[in-house]
Structure 1
Amino acid sequence: MNGFKKSSSQKKPLLQGFLLNFKKGKTIICLVALLMLATAKTSASDNNPVANPEAVVICGKARFTVLTPEMIRIEYSAKGIFEDQATFTVTNRRLKVPRFRKREDNTYLYIVTDKVRLKYRKSTNPVTTPASPENLTITIDNNGCESVWYPGKSDSLNLKGTCRTLDGSNGDNKRAEMENGLISRSGWAVIDDSWAAIRSDGGRSYALRPNADMEFDWWAERSDTDALDIYYLGYGNDYKKAISDYTKIAGKIPLPPDYVFGYWYSKYSAYSADDYRRIMSEIKDNKIPADVMILDMDWHWNVGNGQSGDKGGWTGWSWNTNLIPNPKGLLRDIHDNNFKIALNLHPADGINKNESPVYFAAMNSELNGKYLNDKKDNISWSIDYTDFTKSFFKNIIRNHESEGVDFWWIDWQQHLTSNDTYGLSETFWCNHIFFNDMVRKRTDRRPVIFHRWGGLGSHRYQIGFSGDALINFQTLGFQPYFTATASNVGYGYWGHDLGGHAFTDESIVNDPELVLRWIQFGVFTPIFRTHATNDARIERRIWKFDNFPTMLEAVRLRYSLFPYLYTMARKAYDTGISVCRPLYYEYPESEEAYVYENEYFFGDDILVVPITEAAVDGISAKEIWFPEGKWWSVSTNELIEGPCKKVMNFTHEQIPYFFRQGAIIPYNPPTVMNVTERPDNLILNIVAGSDGESSLYEDSGNNSDYATMYSTTALKQIADGNRGKYIISARRGNYKGGVSVRSYTLRIFDTAAPVSVKVNGNTAVSYVYDKDKRCTTVEVPAIKCSTGVKVEVIYSKE
């Protein structure tokens, strides 16, 4: 194909493909492929794009790879060249080979697993025009009904994924832009990873190939750019297995460092160094827990404006010394106040001689004038070249990181694809480069970036900036659905502009109730960050609002939730199931799970129903669907038995969230001001009346070896009539920085008054019973984390 640029760093593909065609007369005998690369890794747990040959069936110019009983890769190349490189979407095909049967007759090839039945007309292109089942079909049993797929078949029942940005989001106008997800009520979904398929970010799915010069995978040409390369996922309504298996081929969702789960202060405004110091002082004076400080684009000069500081461009790399005369001093002060720091980048316009003379000179010398514009005063943005990329990170990024920058906000929005490399998505590629550079070059910490969605595979780079949503209740109302639905493509860490971004109506721009409800929603989202655009009319210093005490309670609730949230984030890494997820993951056969899209699960055991409408006379009435089971209403202190629909009333101070009966939900004590703290007391919220198990996950918070260096504490309750047993097991595993001794506060909801409370069978401890809240509180004295503890409570018979 035309349009590729060539570079000395680009090597020929490791494998151009292979084809075993044994012909007898006109009959093509389909054989199971036996070839594998000599350099391929053999462990099923390794990240290996070459599938186990026992999973591969080649039939003429078609190749089928049985990845799981429900997932089959389908390739067709008129050249007989198949793709064994990783791609932007798929990085691993070396899975355990599932059981399957292959047979053929003179016309068809059949592949049958425990879940799917594939039928392929030999010697044909699986894709027909118009789309039809003539050449290829895959059939599954979808909840008792036969469901047939063929290439090109449309799917109106897809449950959707996400979209690149919420810029201009107003109400639910972005719904139409949401791409298809990996699950559907049809029972099947398809990933089209062909070169010809345009991704949601405007780019193409390039190959990824190891690059010794960069020390991480670099883009490469596909083996056959005309080839069909699609993945069929026929999981029926086993939605969680579909998403989990996707992360087995597309990569895990990395666990972000602990500090990103705290409160981020952020506002696009021309803040000076004194302004930042004043903000930090006011946050401290108002006793607001906080962990991250964002420096938006006014930290730097702008391309084309020399040292004037005037607006007129977005890209810049050098400190705006008019606002921040001593950058290192400011960043040191921010760190001294226990904040982590991110700088905003808009890298579209390259490195300008006037804006950043030192950086320009260093890079221009290293690159020997390469990438200069005609005026020779700007090095063009060329992150798709290895030499530019190495020089850029060496001279600019490393310098700022040495000053104290902890991570980067890559706010790319200027160009969807590269001006030079055909079909290379700048959104995806910037994310890939920045994240993997941090993996290789900042091994003392856990990699994380804040970025735009760049299509499938972007979950490997964690946290998304959703963009510039408009300020109104209708837009807030769309975000719970949008956030939970993104889990359908594994994109579990959307970060929104809490409070809304851009001006719509001056009468509501600083509406205290609207900001409050946005923040309360944010408590139960992956990233807790207030933000807004550069508009003096918009206030994001929450301590300036009349209802600040209520906002502060929401912030404190977020910090209380951290142990539970962090545990669920680890589970997302292990399983691929995001923290926020739709109700139909758990209740796929309940129609209400699809209809009540404003509700979602926050982890395994908390049902959340954000208030997204203005109250009437201070009261918000909300119709809530409660799934099967029993649910403790934390705000109203009542147990609700599902399935049912119930209209409930909430004041501004109340948030509709509900603990599952049987759950044990760990909280931080209210004294915690940074999520990086490891307190020696934890609160366990327990809903009595049902057996239940959960766990507490802990690690050092910012360690890059968290895959192996961590600990877990199993938590269990046994309900036996009027007797409750609550078991905290000995901590298993090790990590640096954890406490060795810890006390526990058990808050046991929906109980009668206790008769006795014992620890480890014989030690009586004091307790408090709140009759109105039906809550028993037990204080368990400090014990070694390496030993377990059993609390037994006998309740009065009502």
Structure 2
Amino acid sequence: MKKMFSWLPLAICLGMPLTTRAQYQPLAAAKAIVQPEKQVRFTVLADGMVRMEWDSLGHFTDQASFVVVNRKLPVPAYTQQLQGEWYTIHTPLLTLRYKKGSGRFNADNLEVTYEQEGRRLQWRPGTPQLQNLKGTYRTLDRYDGNLLDGKTPMQLEDGILARDGWTLIDDSRSFLFDNAAFPWVDTTARHSGQDWYLLMYGHHYKTALQNYAAIGGKVPLPPRYAFGYWWSRYWRYSDVELRQLVDNFHRYNIPLDVLVIDMDWHQQGWTGWTWDNSLFTSPERFLEWTNQQHLKTTLNLHPADGVGPQERQYASFAKANNFDTAGHHAIPYMGSNKRFMQTLFDTILRPYEKQGVDFWWLDWQQWPDDPQVHGLDNTWWLNYVFFTEKEKYGQRRPLLYHRWGGLGNHRYQTGFSGDATISWRSLAFQPYFTSTASNVLYDYWSHDIGGHNMPEGFKSLDPELYTRWMQYGALSPIFRTHSTKSALLNKEIWNFSGAYFNAIYNAIRLRYTLAPYIYTMARQTYDSALAICRPLYYEHPDDDSAYHFTSEYYFGDDMLVAPIGKPADNGVSKETVWLPAGNDWYEWHTGTLLHGGQTMARQFSIDEYPLYVKAGAIIPMNRDTVKQLDGQTAAIQLGIFPGAAGKGRLYEDDGDDQHYASQYAVTNYTTGMATGGALKLQIQPVKGHFAGMRTIRDYKLCFYGQAMPEAVVVAGKRLPYASTGNGARWYYNGQQLCVEVYLPGVNALQGQTVSLLPGNTPAPDINGLPEKMKRLYQASEALKYTNAYVVIPYQLAQMEELPQALSYYPGRYAQLINDFNRGYAQLDAILEKAGGISANEKAAFLQAAGK
């Protein structure tokens, strides 16, 4: 057997950081391999995962493949024996039996049995898989929802998971990598005749994903800035226009991290490598400016036409490739040619990166296979080459924005889903499409938020549709707006007004508020192969509702989203929401704690969204002053949600280096009830370290849905109650019914303990009160605009003032809320006292107030 290469020694000798690629070792541990006869080899990879190879010549593959890059895993406990005519391998979960000397694997000579928690499965070659939970699809181009051109349903690829409880990955025909310093497709190597990976997991879906990630490679952690807001538009932008655009972002106080420049950055045609100097007089100065603005910049590439004679780099490119330029012909694209690709990076791409281009948008839309290597998928291969080049030679963390190429492409991160139709159907489909992609570890879809292609008869952008799309986008993996080149598609927030402007603005702000939580969950994706947006059945595999509510998804460990995908009815969006059993759920935008284990009809105004937080969860957040994610934040906000004792964690690293595998820090948080009924929050000392880590930071603690405490105690001292100030203090936010505690200068190495002492009187009922207060205020405001001379009853005016009154008069907390609740129950009678109000106005008021 020829000597095969190992990724780890290769990575070390090249001086590479020990991140994603450096883990991959395709040669399995010798103790994991069972070779009962020359033509057969089994590799025990995990308790529920085994590799099975048969080859007539006894030729077995130890090279990395496009699908499987790592086989050197901890060897699970197993036994092997020959029982009569059958070779048998036992792990704690599997029993594999192969009939001695029987040749090629078939249903008569090979069987694998799985047993766990009373469930027994049996698999043989040829066993049909009936309930695959699907994976993803290359693109949403021309799709209206799941219908191509409004007619043909999308056929999602199969994924790693199935309700059958097992999955077979046939790796017999995928390409292999060679052992070069920059591993390349090996056109001479071959797989074993049969090269299979069997994963058996029952309903332990998370285990199956982790097992595939162990052999297929981890999902790399994107740089932190990738989780901010991306501005993108297919538009012939100039340097001046982009500067004006960014000035408006600043003027309206809108956060922004990534500036996406579509194909018009270069000269005419789909493929181009030279800046259009009629738009960008000095690209170097333009990119210098984007860096000064702390904006990351990506440019669109369509490499298919090669390098034409009109390109500034044509002569140097031709010389490096010994191309005859006499006929002034284009140098054809040759993705599988290492010299061609090396020249592309050396003469074109890396010089642009030095000028300030941070990453590339690789938008391959042309022919499927490489012109020189039959069957080599251009999309898959380009993704690999671009990402690995950045990983190998770049100074910062690799990021690539590209189309899905197939299984194994999860190692190259962020997906561009393409040109979906602008419609409610498209919006309704994307949550399912996004979370289901996690079944092939493709966890970072980036959609054209708001849609791309205009349907027939399109006249203007529906502000409600765009607002709901933005709210979903803020709770999706990558938050990027985009659209086709049309003057009708102006998605800048300042083009909207009133409630739509406020809701879109709040969606962007919510994204930045949740960025520490999102980044913490992204680290979990790297560690445990669990996507930020994941299907419900990961957590509830034995509940049929988890498979029925296909649009709902978990957003990390502690949040559930039931996205709105249809227009409102009389200004109210009505959604049927399934809240899983096992814990209660806090409906954040309405301040309502709801019991788990039920399906409910809920209603939402345009500024509300069905976002549910697990009772007791502690969510790390940013303060509302954060506008970009490229630096370490000094201030952390913790959202402590009601309903149970809970926990949370904050993950941090440099944010953009390649050393995150080992250089990072984690802070854990817990809550519980102390003696005497006090609610106690513990900020644990930070664990770990990375360059630039903050050891002193400010905290703002937000105890949502929490009654007014008697006092807040830190380090044995009662904090003062104050709405403003620089020192440690606390305050009651009457709008959100939230106890806010401000702790400046907390030593992260030591941690801190905070206790909320309960009041002496019984706490009033505040569940759902934020929603009631808001609706009452909106109803009163609408009435005043309808009838400016209406005389508002004194009791109703007092009820409108409740949010501020709670903040002003903490000693009257219970009385104020009890008065409001009584008044809300008697709202009809109170309105009878209003002067100059008509019956229609009264009815409209009660409806708006939720009565």
- In the other structure, the counterpart of 1:229 is 195
Structure 1 residues 387 and 281 mapped into 2: Cα distance closer, same or farther (>3 Å)? Answer: same
DSSP-derived class of the 2:143 partner: coil
Between the aligned partners of 1:401 and 1:38, the Cα distance in structure 2 is: 27
- From 131, 134, 146, give the equivalent of 1:157: 131
Structure 1 residues 148 and 367 mapped into 2: Cα distance closer, same or farther (>3 Å)? Answer: same
Between the aligned partners of 2:339 and 2:614, the Cα distance in structure 1 is: 54
* Contact 2:4/2:179 (<8 A) preserved: no
The 5 A counterparts of 1:323-472 are 323-354=279-310, 356=311, 358-369=312-323, 375-443=327-395, 445-472=396-423
Aligned residues: 737
The 5 A counterparts of 1:168-567 are 168-173=142-147, 176-195=154-173, 205-212=174-181, 216-221=182-187, 223-225=189-191, 227-302=193-268, 313-354=269-310, 356=311, 358-369=312-323, 375-443=327-395, 445-507=396-458, 509-546=460-497, 547-567=500-520
Between the aligned partners of 1:395 and 1:656, the Cα distance in structure 2 is: 50
- In the other structure, the counterpart of 1:139 is 113
- For the pair shown, which has the larger CA radius of gyration, 1 or 2? 2
Give the CA deviation at 1:750. 3.1
Give the CA deviation at 1:348. 0.6
Structure 1 residues 772 and 143 mapped into 2: Cα distance closer, same or farther (>3 Å)? Answer: farther
DSSP-derived class of the 1:654 partner: coil
Structure 1 residues 411 and 422 mapped into 2: Cα distance closer, same or farther (>3 Å)? Answer: same
* Contact 2:7/2:25 (<8 A) preserved: no
Between the aligned partners of 1:389 and 1:173, the Cα distance in structure 2 is: 36
User: Does residue 523 of structure 2 align to residue 570 of structure 1?
Assistant: yes
DSSP-derived class of the 1:369 partner: coil
Amino acid corresponding to residue 210 of structure 1 in structure 2: N
Give the CA deviation at 1:14. 4.1
- In the other structure, the counterpart of 1:641 is 595
Give the CA deviation at 1:424. 1.2
Q: Deviations over 1:115-153 (max 9, x none)?
A: 12222233345555xxxx323222223764432222233
Between the aligned partners of 1:38 and 1:569, the Cα distance in structure 2 is: 24
User: Does residue 745 of structure 2 align to residue 792 of structure 1?
Assistant: no
- From 572, 587, 612, give the equivalent of 1:658: 612
Between the aligned partners of 1:226 and 1:94, the Cα distance in structure 2 is: 18
Give the CA deviation at 1:226. 6.5
Q: Deviations over 1:314-359 (max 9, x none)?
A: 11101112222221122222222221100000001100012x0x31
* Contact 1:469/1:501 (<8 A) preserved: yes
* Contact 1:668/1:683 (<8 A) preserved: yes
684-693 vs 166-175, greater mean Cα deviation: 166-175
- From 691, 694, 701, give the equivalent of 1:746: 701
Give the CA deviation at 1:109. 2.1
* Contact 1:687/1:748 (<8 A) preserved: yes
Structure 1 residues 711 and 454 mapped into 2: Cα distance closer, same or farther (>3 Å)? Answer: same
Structure 1 residues 145 and 14 mapped into 2: Cα distance closer, same or farther (>3 Å)? Answer: same
* Contact 1:465/1:496 (<8 A) preserved: yes
- From 38, 62, 65, give the equivalent of 1:84: 62
Give the CA deviation at 1:549. 2.4
* Contact 1:188/1:232 (<8 A) preserved: yes
Between the aligned partners of 2:756 and 2:179, the Cα distance in structure 1 is: 58
User: Does residue 116 of structure 2 align to residue 103 of structure 1?
Assistant: no
Q: Which runs of 5+ in 1 are unaligned?
A: 1-11, 17-35, 196-204, 303-312
- In the other structure, the counterpart of 1:732 is 687
Structure 1 residues 127 and 532 mapped into 2: Cα distance closer, same or farther (>3 Å)? Answer: farther
Between the aligned partners of 1:41 and 1:109, the Cα distance in structure 2 is: 38
Give the CA deviation at 1:380. 1.1
- In the other structure, the counterpart of 2:839 is none
Between the aligned partners of 2:155 and 2:321, the Cα distance in structure 1 is: 40
Structure 1 residues 378 and 507 mapped into 2: Cα distance closer, same or farther (>3 Å)? Answer: closer
Amino acid corresponding to residue 751 of structure 1 in structure 2: Q
* Contact 1:758/1:765 (<8 A) preserved: no
Structure 1 residues 272 and 740 mapped into 2: Cα distance closer, same or farther (>3 Å)? Answer: same
User: Does residue 644 of structure 2 align to residue 690 of structure 1?
Assistant: yes
- In the other structure, the counterpart of 1:166 is 140
* Contact 2:8/2:22 (<8 A) preserved: no
- In the other structure, the counterpart of 1:20 is none
Q: Deviations over 1:562-591 (max 9, x none)?
A: 111111111111111111111111111111
Between the aligned partners of 1:405 and 1:677, the Cα distance in structure 2 is: 18
Give the CA deviation at 1:211. 1.4
DSSP-derived class of the 1:401 partner: helix
- In the other structure, the counterpart of 1:198 is none
- In the other structure, the counterpart of 1:115 is 93
TM-score normalised over the length of structure 2: 0.83
770-779 vs 704-713, greater mean Cα deviation: 770-779
* Contact 2:61/2:192 (<8 A) preserved: no
DSSP-derived class of the 1:551 partner: helix
Between the aligned partners of 2:368 and 2:701, the Cα distance in structure 1 is: 52
Between the aligned partners of 2:459 and 2:171, the Cα distance in structure 1 is: 44
Structure 1 residues 136 and 509 mapped into 2: Cα distance closer, same or farther (>3 Å)? Answer: farther
DSSP-derived class of the 1:379 partner: coil
Give the CA deviation at 1:506. 4.1
Give the CA deviation at 1:40. 10
Between the aligned partners of 1:288 and 1:584, the Cα distance in structure 2 is: 36
Give the CA deviation at 1:539. 2.0
Q: Deviations over 1:447-486 (max 9, x none)?
A: 1110111111111111111111111011111111111111
DSSP-derived class of the 2:160 partner: coil
Q: Identity over aligned residues, as a percent?
A: 39
Amino acid corresponding to residue 589 of structure 1 in structure 2: D
Q: Deviations over 1:144-163 (max 9, x none)?
A: 44322222332221111111
Structure 1 residues 711 and 105 mapped into 2: Cα distance closer, same or farther (>3 Å)? Answer: closer
- In the other structure, the counterpart of 1:30 is none
Between the aligned partners of 2:140 and 2:286, the Cα distance in structure 1 is: 32
Structure 1 residues 225 and 68 mapped into 2: Cα distance closer, same or farther (>3 Å)? Answer: closer
TM-score normalised over the length of structure 1: 0.88
Amino acid corresponding to residue 231 of structure 2 in structure 1: Y
Structure 1 residues 499 and 769 mapped into 2: Cα distance closer, same or farther (>3 Å)? Answer: same
RMSD: 2.5
Between the aligned partners of 1:77 and 1:404, the Cα distance in structure 2 is: 51
Between the aligned partners of 1:177 and 1:138, the Cα distance in structure 2 is: 30
Between the aligned partners of 1:530 and 1:40, the Cα distance in structure 2 is: 40
Q: Deviations over 1:167-191 (max 9, x none)?
A: 1221223764211111111110121
Between the aligned partners of 1:578 and 1:78, the Cα distance in structure 2 is: 40
Q: Deviations over 1:49-84 (max 9, x none)?
A: 011122112233121111001001111212221110
Between the aligned partners of 2:557 and 2:188, the Cα distance in structure 1 is: 40
Q: Deviations over 1:728-787 (max 9, x none)?
A: 122223333444422212111233321221012334343333567543222223322222
Give the CA deviation at 1:223. 3.9
Between the aligned partners of 1:410 and 1:533, the Cα distance in structure 2 is: 17
Give the CA deviation at 1:95. 0.8
* Contact 2:711/2:718 (<8 A) preserved: no
More helix as a share of residues: 2
Q: Which runs of 5+ in 2 are unaligned?
A: 13-17, 722-729, 764-851
Structure 1 residues 185 and 252 mapped into 2: Cα distance closer, same or farther (>3 Å)? Answer: same
User: Does residue 546 of structure 2 align to residue 580 of structure 1?
Assistant: no
Amino acid corresponding to residue 401 of structure 1 in structure 2: E
Between the aligned partners of 1:538 and 1:85, the Cα distance in structure 2 is: 49
Between the aligned partners of 1:531 and 1:261, the Cα distance in structure 2 is: 16
Amino acid corresponding to residue 337 of structure 1 in structure 2: Q
